[in-house]
Every structure is written in C-alpha cells, then in structure tokens.
Structure 1
Amino acid sequence: MPNEEIQNLLKSGIEAARGGNKTVARKIFEQVLREDPQNELAWMWLATVLDNPTDRRRALERVISINPNNARAQQALSKLQSAAPETDQVVRSTPPPERVSTPSVSRASLDDLRVAERAGASRGPSLLYIVFLSLAVGLIIGAAALIAMQLSDEDEEESPTQVSGPPTIIATLEPPTPAVPLVRTVVPGSIERPDLGPTWTPSPTSTPLPSATPTATLLPLAEYEIIFAAADSPVGLSRLFLASADGSNLRPVDIQLAPARIQVEIEATAEESGEAIGTEEAVEGTPIPEVFEALEFRDPAVSPDGTFLAFTVQLAPEVQEIFVMPLPGGAPRQLTTLGGTVTGGAVWSPDGELIAFHSNAEGDFDVYLVAVDGGTPTNLTQDGNFDERDPAFDPNDNQRLIIASDQATPGELEIWSLPLGSGVPQQLTDDVNSSFMPAVSPDGQMIAFISTRGNDQDLYVMNADGTNERLVSLNDQDWDEFSPAWSPDGIWIMVSTNRENDDVLQLWTVRPDGSQWTKITSGAGPSQDGEWASQN
C-alpha cells in the first residue's frame, strides 16, 4: 500500500478514535500496522483504544521500542505498570454478574501484528498442525476429566460420608465493587472519594416524564444558529464554522491564533523549539508545530450567555489542547497544557464559570474541571485504568455532571450521574455494549445519548433519572450517529451521522420522538461536533 494511502487510513482511524468509535478505530490502526509495522503514531493511537490493560501495555512497549524517547508512551506505560499490582494481584472470590456483551480487543489482534513484523523470518511448525494437536489433547483431557467426575459421583452415592478430595468452593454471587473509587470535586484541594456503585436499580415509584413535544408551532430551522467543525475533504483540515440550522448563511469562525500564544507539553531542546517557532524566544518544553497552517479545530462549545467559545486545537499529531475566545471571533487564550493525544469534549457550567472536559493525558481517559479564567485543571476521576469521558452539565445544576464511565464493566461505557458536591454517583444506563456521549436537555428533564447496544451507534433519549429509554434513530439501516446536542428550546436534537449512506459524516436534526430527520450540511468533507449557538 502506498505511503499516502497509509497516512490517509491512519487519519481515518484517529478521527474514529476522537469520535469515540473505539472498535472501528482499532480495526483501522491494526490495518495500518499490518502495512507499516514500524508506524510509531499508529501504535500510540492503538494503545488509546485498547480496553485490556495488558494489550495496552504491549502496544506502548512497541512504541518505546521504535522510539525510546517518546515521553507520552513512557508516561502512559509507567502509569499502567504502577497500577498493575492493584489489578493483576486481585483474587476475585466472587464471579462477576452475567452480562451479554461484545468482546473487548483480543490479544490475537496484537499477535497478528507481530506476525506482520516478523514477515520473512524462519517459520516453525504449521499453525494449523499446532491447532489440531492442541484440540486433540484438549479433547483427551476433557474426556478423562468427565470419566473421573462420573466415577466420583458414583463413589459419593455409595459412601455419602467419604471425602475423595478437597471440597469445591462455591462463591456467593455479589455485585462487583469498583477497584478504585471515583473522585469528584469542584475546588482543587477539596477532593472527596465516593465509591461509584456497581449497578443501578430504577425507583419502582418513578413516573415517566412528559415528552418534549412543544405546544407552539415549530420554529423554522433558519431561526437557529449552529457552530460546527468541517473539512473540505475526507482528509482535509478541520475548521470551525457558523451557520443557520437550515444550512444557510455559512461563514468561518474568525480564529486569530498567533503561534506565540501556543504552548505544547513536548520535551524538546531550546534549539529545536526555536526552529519550530522561527524565533529565538522559544522556551524549552514548549515547541510550536513546525507547520502552523496544519492546526485543526474541533469540539466547539458556546458559553451559556453566547459570548465565548471553548474549542479543541490539534497542535501536533499527538497533542490536543483547549482554548477559549470571544464570539464571533477574536484572539484565543490557551486553557490547558496537558499534552494528551485526546483532550476535548469541553462543556460550560450553567453559570459560565467552569469548563469540564475529558483527556487521556494520564494514560486512560479522565474527566477534568478547570476555571474559565485559567489555572491547573482538576482531575475528577483518578481511578486507575477505568475510562471516564464525555462530560455534560445539568443545565439547572452547577454541581451535577453526566458522564460516560466503564467502572461497572471495564471496556463498556455506561451513563452515570456524578454529583460534584455531596451525594452518591448513580448509574443511569445498564445494557450490552456501550452508552456514551450524553447531552442533557435545556430543562434538565431528558438525556440524549449514543449507544452501541444494537451494534451500530444509535441515538437514544431517556428521562434524567435513567427511566423510559427510547430509540430515536429508528430503522436507520446500520447508520451511525455521533455527538447529540439539544436546541436551546429542547425541540430539536442535532447529530453528526452517515445517514443515507454518506461517505462522510454530515449534520442532521431530528425531533426527540424520532420524527422529522432533516439534513443540514452536504459536502465532500465531514461536518461534525455540532453545537447550537443561538436562537432568534
């Protein structure tokens, strides 16, 4: 495969990973590595979408073997190794509850990639021969064990008091408890550590909330303004645009980002940093991308009063950071310098004072909170190898976040309610596969989210307490939906989707009851990360 095709494939995998589609991303990265086993960036991104800590560690070790100076891989590997004694040495006295799910990435995938690396090396015995031999041995051992069990049963019937061997221990089935508690706080230094309960049981007295059907005539989509990220081709650079929700009045967001205002947490010498910026004012450890025009902009989030914009900037192939700027345009101010490969999903608190976001800067995904004025972000979920992401504020409560977490079942995200002050975290969804990307309606009564319980990514809505789940994307022929966002009046939900067999994602609106699907954008490149900017 030509190098250009490999690079385009790698970029598609990175986009899938950023969009939360870990299964698709993993398959793409594995394909890239079969073509180019020494691709450091592909191994690094593969590590971010692997759910099994052992597989993730093996991928990171491969990165370091290619580039021993990769600080991001060293940091992530160090965290995995420090957490290993807590996870690998735990002896489970109780089996986990039975749950139907799709399997997480298997070690066979990484083993297949190692085969690609060793292409041309001497081969041992036939793999098929080994498999058949292993099966034959297994059948013989199984038959012997079965005969032994039958003889043992006969002996017990004849001599009830006779003990023929050590007793069998039957463990009591109990709900699993997360190995590490979730952390929540709104003020650095005042961190509480409540346990994230393993299961959620709906209240038997819960009354379904009314639907969001308005009593007034629907406003034309032209009365709303949206902001989103779009590219001019499937592999083009992503930029931010404003438009009416019917697709008219399209215009770019004026982002006046000067190179001198950027900081990137990448180890480098002062000389290297100076070359990157083109000046002698570079500071060691804060180089600027060599090609400034290659910056990409994603994940726009408008402040509650509509005057400011938070968004993610792709500063380097492996670095994303969050910036804040005035709307409709101006000079952005950098809000984070975490150095994660994925830092985004910014959301504003209802009072406009805080921004929550997710990042994999510490290896796994965590939810952070930072003051809009700046300062050190607080990691709310320092919990070992679990992933927490996709924060969403309750519009009526500064002290409540809705997040996606895999604490209940590692590798499978569910929707949780996380109080930032007093209170107990509550699991809101519990189904096969994953549920993620929650968005709370403006009145705080409903939550839209994406789930893969039907194998493809579908749009669902439910009451804010987790009851009355409803599928919105009915009969969608395995199309995928991403990033739901409620209109300011709660009448519409906007998503990015490949409906109608689009080759790339486009923006659509739909009513919460699944009616009136309306296409907003159409172009050669993807349009995604849609947010509502205002309503006339």
Structure 2
Amino acid sequence: MKNILCHSGRANNIAGLVILILLVPALTASAQDPFMQYPDIQGNTIVFASGGDLWKVAADGGTACRLTFSDGRETYPEISPDGSLVAFTGEYDGNADVYVMNIDGGNITRLTWHPGMDEVTGWNPGNNKIMFSSGRHSPSRYVKMYMISPDGSGLEEMIMYDAARGSFSPDGKKIAYNKDSQDNATWKRYRGGRAQEIYIYDLAKDTETNISNYGGSDRWPMWIGDKVYFSSDRDRVLNIWSYDTGSGKIEQVTKHSEYDVRHPDFGSNHIVYELGGDIWKLDLASGNSAKVPVRILNDMEERRPFMKDVSGDITRADISPSGSRALVVAR
C-alpha cells in the first residue's frame, strides 16, 4: 500500500482527499476550542493541562501562557498554597514522576525517582509538602499516598493503608480521601464494589468514617471550611456535591446535565473543573458557576498535514462503479 499524502487535494488520490476533508473541520474546531484538563486555581491564576503540556491563565480567562515544552505528558498540576510553585506529574525522562516548577515556568526539578507512576494530588497546607499517590509498594495493586518537600527531601508515607486522593481539613487533624481511583476508567453510572467512596480519617484517633454510603461514584474530595466538596453521579451525571461535616447533610451544588464534571480542584474560595473539554469555575460564596474563556495561541505542530503510512490501519475499502477511483477508510 502506498503512502497517502494527507495534505494533497489531488483528484486521483481520493483517499487522501477524504482524510483531508475529515480532518480539516476537526482541526479548525480544536484550534478554536482547546481541550483542557486537570485545572487548579490559586488566587488569580489557573493552571491546566492541554496537548500534553501545562498552561497558565488568569482566573477570569484570557490568553493562556505555556509553561512546559516536552515530548512527554505533563498532567495533574497543583499550585502551592502561597501561589509560587506548581507541582505536577511529568514524563520528561519517560516515567511518570513528581516535578515542581516556578508558577511562571522554569526551574523544573524532578522530586521522585521510582519506576512506578507517581500522581500528584495536592499540597498539605500544614507543612507545605506535595502530596502524591503511588503504587510503588503495592504487590496487590493498591495505592498509597505520600508527601515530599519541594526540594526533594522529607519523603514520607501517609498512614492510610489504601488511599488514592485526599484533602486535609483546615486544622490538619483529619483528611477526606478516596481509597481507590477509578477516574480514568470508562465506566458510566457504575454501581458495585469498585465504586469510589469518600472516607474521613482522624489522624489523632486512628479512626475512619465512610461519609458516602452510596453505591455509585463519589470522588475527588475537597475539604473547604466545614464542608467536603466532591464529584458524584448521584443524579446520573457527575456533578459537584457537598457534605456538611457538622450535620452530615449532603447537597447538590452544580446541576450540569450534558457532560460530567471531571478533575475538580479548589483554591481561593473557588472550585475549578473540566466540563466537556472546557474549564469552569464555581464561586462557593454565590453558588454560581461559569465557563472560563481560554485562548491558546500555539503553532501545534501535531496538527499540521503530514505523510502517513496507513497500510496497517485500513479498516474498509470500496471501488467506485467506474473502477477508476477507490475509497479507503483508515484509523
């Protein structure tokens, strides 16, 4: 099978033309509406991931500034409590490890060196350490949470036996956490034993309490004031809910119906989250949420037309009635 010239519009290469026609609208839409993930907010700054790199934008939106330039993926950015640093999971050396950099980019430092995946989950405001989850000590495939200082010192394993993502109470005496992480699983409205539940662990008493008691998915706990906010599919679509630590009352906060709320994070009395590839911001004082308008100006080399050998990816082909042309589907 010959190479298909993806940027050619020649009539005698109908397969290449079809691929070009299919690609161009998608690329145009992508350029106008960038796909954004893993947002975090602190003060007037939002950091997020798009196209495998990290970007920064004002909390009210605008043109984003690129922070990382790497062939590997940079994900799970978390801004430090003082707003000066960004911790994230990076693949600069092939493996997914914990890195930290300045809020404006630069001075990128690798902090972990284990061959297992290390997923950054936040900062401990009590000791300014970076929290991350890892299966590095997991012969039975469970994950634990760890903390490490921004200079790479003071690595410590948190006491919970099985913990994937957590958020400390304001006084640092308790932590709300998920024991399991199924966030990347392609499950919709799953009910069963692998569903995520949220627990509160009392560090002084060495006790835990299940605050979910729900057969579906409660994930990404965020302890803000006297409430634990989290995403849940209690109304069949993932939305932001809250749990009052005093009364135990659970309330729905957002009411999106088309797309799931993904990867929520918090700071400065706001929660930011991913919704259909866009970034949304929830004002906790008013309860109102709105899309954050973000522009990404980038040459995006991966979107340029290129030569591609599709001989191993052909799924269907057909010949025109005259026998002079062929239509090939490859993906």
Q: TM-score range by the shorter chain?
A: 0.5 to 0.7
Higher relative contact order (CA 8 A, sep 6+): 2
Q: Secondary structure at the match of 1:525?
A: coil
Q: Secondary structure at the match of 2:32?
A: helix
**Partners in 1 of 2:212 and 2:136 — Cα distance?**
27
What is aligned with 2:138? 409
User: Could you tell me how far 1:364 is from its partner in structure 2?
Assistant: 3.8
Distance 1:512 1:380, change over 3 A: farther
What is aligned with 2:321? none
Gaps of 5+ in 2: 1-22, 182-192, 270-283, 286-331
**Partners in 2 of 1:336 and 1:360 — Cα distance?**
11
Gaps of 5+ in 1: 1-275, 277-287
**8 Å contact 2:78–2:120 — kept in the other structure?**
no
What is aligned with 1:439? 167
Between stretches 373-382 and 463-472, larger displacement belongs to: 463-472
Equivalent position to 2:119, from 389, 413, 416: 389
**Partners in 1 of 2:134 and 2:204 — Cα distance?**
16
**Partners in 2 of 1:466 and 1:436 — Cα distance?**
21
**Partners in 2 of 1:444 and 1:417 — Cα distance?**
14
What is aligned with 1:493? 228
**Partners in 2 of 1:354 and 1:505 — Cα distance?**
30
What is aligned with 2:259? 525
**Partners in 2 of 1:334 and 1:289 — Cα distance?**
20
- AA aligned opposite 2:165: M
User: Could you tell me how far 1:413 is from its partner in structure 2?
Assistant: 0.9
Equivalent position to 1:480, from 193, 197, 217: 217
**Partners in 1 of 2:107 and 2:149 — Cα distance?**
21
Give the TM-score of the pair, scaled to structure 2. Answer: 0.62
**Partners in 2 of 1:300 and 1:394 — Cα distance?**
18
**8 Å contact 2:146–2:155 — kept in the other structure?**
no
Alignment deviations for residues 348-369 of structure 1 (CA, whole Å, 9 cap, x no partner)? 2122111111234544432111
User: Could you tell me how far 1:397 is from its partner in structure 2?
Assistant: 2.5
**Partners in 1 of 2:171 and 2:244 — Cα distance?**
16
Distance 1:458 1:330, change over 3 A: same
Distance 1:373 1:519, change over 3 A: same
Identity score, percent: 23
**Partners in 2 of 1:481 and 1:332 — Cα distance?**
31
**Partners in 1 of 2:247 and 2:35 — Cα distance?**
33
Distance 1:516 1:293, change over 3 A: same
Equivalent position to 2:104, from 356, 360, 373: 373
Instruction: Give the structure with the larger helix fraction.
Output: 1
What is aligned with 2:239? 506
Alignment deviations for residues 122-160 of structure 1 (CA, whole Å, 9 cap, x no partner)? xxxxxxxxxxxxxxxxxxxxxxxxxxxxxxxxxxxxxxx
**8 Å contact 1:494–1:530 — kept in the other structure?**
no
1:429 aligns to 2:160 (yes or no) = yes
Distance 1:381 1:468, change over 3 A: same
**Partners in 1 of 2:28 and 2:110 — Cα distance?**
27
Distance 1:377 1:289, change over 3 A: farther
**Partners in 2 of 1:299 and 1:480 — Cα distance?**
19
Q: What CA RMSD, in Å, does the superposition of the two structures yield over aligned residues?
A: 3.0
Alignment deviations for residues 445-488 of structure 1 (CA, whole Å, 9 cap, x no partner)? 322211139532111122357932221112x02x112222122x
Instruction: Give the structure with the larger strand fraction.
Output: 2
Between stretches 386-395 and 446-455, larger displacement belongs to: 446-455
Distance 1:507 1:361, change over 3 A: farther
User: Could you tell me how far 1:516 is from its partner in structure 2?
Assistant: 1.5
**Partners in 2 of 1:426 and 1:466 — Cα distance?**
18
Distance 1:420 1:291, change over 3 A: closer
What is aligned with 1:458? 197
User: Could you tell me how far 1:290 is from its partner in structure 2?
Assistant: 8.8
Distance 1:380 1:416, change over 3 A: same
Distance 1:360 1:471, change over 3 A: farther
Equivalent position to 2:59, from 308, 311, 327: 327
Alignment deviations for residues 156-196 of structure 1 (CA, whole Å, 9 cap, x no partner)? xxxxxxxxxxxxxxxxxxxxxxxxxxxxxxxxxxxxxxxxx
**Partners in 2 of 1:393 and 1:367 — Cα distance?**
12
Give the TM-score of the pair, scaled to structure 1. Answer: 0.39
**Matched pairs, number:** 232
